A and B are shown apart, each in its own frame.
Chain A
Amino acid sequence: MEKYTLFDEIGGGGGAYGKVYKALDTVSTEDVAVQVISVELGVPSTVTREISALKEMHHPNIVRLRDVEHTENQMFLVFEYLHINFKEYMDSIPDFANNPLTIKGFLHQILRGVAYCHAHEVLHRDLKPQSLMIDKDTNTLKVANFGLVRALGVPVNTYKSEVDTPCYRAPEMLLGSPNYLSSGDVWSIGCIFAEMVNQKPLFRGESEINLSKHIFSILGTPDEDNWPVATSSPKPKFRRQHPKDLATFVPNLDPVGVNLLSKMICTDPIRRITARDALEHQYFKELMQQVCFPAQNS
């Protein structure tokens, strides 16, 4: 680790799951972000898989893993340094939502990064505005901390206490599905999409049950045949509710956008749109080949 000089601890996207420090690469003199992971009990299989996947992932919308270093008991993942996360970015620009093209541009970037990862069979598992990073110089959005959440084997109770709200978790996960699939990531992107439009999270709830209730109060309670989790254990009871008109919950979104959103936050994970298919949706047709961005402070 002589090559890097560690500075302050930074929140970054994954601060809760292994300390992340801002650091200086003394050879290239570039800023980097260093995540420190304990390997006293060996390198877990998930870390092995995810790092080898990240090593091969080269995409403009995925944060770059530059280097992996280790000592006897610790591993250091060296990432490119990015200025701020997407939550901070949205908060810093109050009229962010005024230009639909800005929203389209960022949503398209998230989907491109995530579709690339899904094609490489890597799942993120904790997409939220805080885990997306922004390069302010180019307005490029990069998905960060891919797959490392579960890889680090964070116990569920730690997870709950350190993440203020499970706002972006898919209903099948809230209802206890044991398997995380790529569709779970798409749900989270749908939530982020709605948050860009509304400037606040679409679904809220202090607990997983409250959040599920809120989701079903808008999208309708799934019936027996469409229950998002295959389970033999007793299902929690939810009041029967019919789906409401999603457009009324995202008043500033045009009908094509509402159509895409409804496909991304489909309660049935099997019928939910894939990231790859979402990229082809009509909503993005104006983006043409080059993603357009307004000047930052316009």
Chain B
Amino acid sequence: WEDEELSTLLSKQESNQLCKKLEVNPSLARVRVEAVDWMLKVNAHYSFNGLTAVLAVNYLDRFLFSFQFQSEKPWMTQLVAVSCLSLAAKVEETQVPLLLDLQVEDSRYMFEAKTIQRMEILILSTLQWKMNPVTPLSFLDYITRRIGLKDYLCWEFLKRC
């Protein structure tokens, strides 16, 4: 069944469709870099798991790809970034900071919880509620188990990815 697990992972993985869009749209690319940069800072600030960061960026990319995005509204990017990070924390972390507390690390705009909650729903429905994508970490997790790293070692290893 271990091979079965690998083939499931392979069949479920999806390519990042945003890449092509970024190549032809430098302003979107810039906006994305800023958003990812901020999300990683907050991720470090709260010592969230590596997977939380990976998920947040995954949600951001999929949302930017599917949604007609207005990059001339910089507050919009910030709202999407904080919502994606909040969703990733909800999925992966055991302790999730309050929405107001999540907006640290020189957040250029501050949003009310209500506004973020609405954006979360928009993101959830745009991503069709598929919040557990196959990520590179899924393969690392599989490989560490397959080569028989003991639980603790495996955990330490994944934590540092």
User: A interface vs B, CB < 8 Å?
Assistant: 39, 41-43, 45, 48-49, 51-53, 55-56, 68-70, 72, 75
Contacts and interface: CB of A to CB of B under 8 A. Distances in A.
A49 B131 contact: yes
Contact of A68 (B90, B129, B132): B129
B137 interface: no
A45 B91 contact: yes
Contact of B118 (A52, A68, A72): A72
Given A45-B91, A49-B90, A72-B118, A56 B125 contact: no
Contacts of A51: 124, 129
Nearest to B5: A119
Given A52-B131, A56-B130, 16 more contacts: A39-B121, A42-B113, A42-B117, A43-B117, A43-B121, A45-B91, A48-B87, A48-B91, A49-B91, A51-B124, A52-B129, A55-B128, A68-B125, A69-B125, A70-B121, A75-B121
B130 A43 contact: no
4 closest A-B pairs by beta carbon, nearest first, are A45-B90, A52-B131, A42-B117, A55-B129
Interface of B: 87, 90-91, 96, 99, 113, 116-118, 120-121, 124-125, 128-132
Nearest to B131: A52
A196 B19 CA distance: 56
A295 to B, nearest CB: 36
A6 to B, nearest CB: 20
16 contacts: A39-B117, A39-B121, A42-B120, A43-B117, A45-B90, A45-B96, A51-B129, A52-B129, A52-B131, A52-B132, A55-B129, A68-B124, A68-B129, A69-B125, A70-B125, A75-B121
A53 B132 CA distance: 8
Contacts of B96: 45
Contacts of B99: 42
Q: Which of B120, B121, B128, B130 gathers most chain A CB within 10 Å?
A: B121
Nearest to A48: B90
Contacts of A70: 121, 125
A152 to B, nearest CB: 15
B52 to A, nearest CB: 12
A193 to B, nearest CB: 26
A68 B130 CA distance: 11
A72 B116 CA distance: 12
Nearest to B132: A52
Q: Which of A41, A42, A51, A70 gathers most chain B CB within 10 Å?
A: A42
Contacts of B121: 39, 43, 70, 75
A39 B114 CA distance: 11
A52 B120 contact: no
A152 B1 CA distance: 34
Contacts of A68: 124-125, 129
Contacts of A49: 90-91, 131
B127 to A, nearest CB: 9
Contacts of A39: 117, 121
A41 B121 CA distance: 12
B87 A56 contact: no
B128 to A, nearest CB: 7
A45 B98 CA distance: 12
Contacts of B87: 48
Contacts of A42: 99, 113, 116-117, 120
Given A42-B113, A43-B117, A72-B118, A48 B131 contact: yes
Nearest to B86: A42
B132 A56 contact: yes
Contacts of B129: 48, 51-52, 55, 68
A69 B87 CA distance: 18
Contact of A52 (B116, B117, B130): B130
A43 B118 contact: no
A75 B128 CA distance: 13
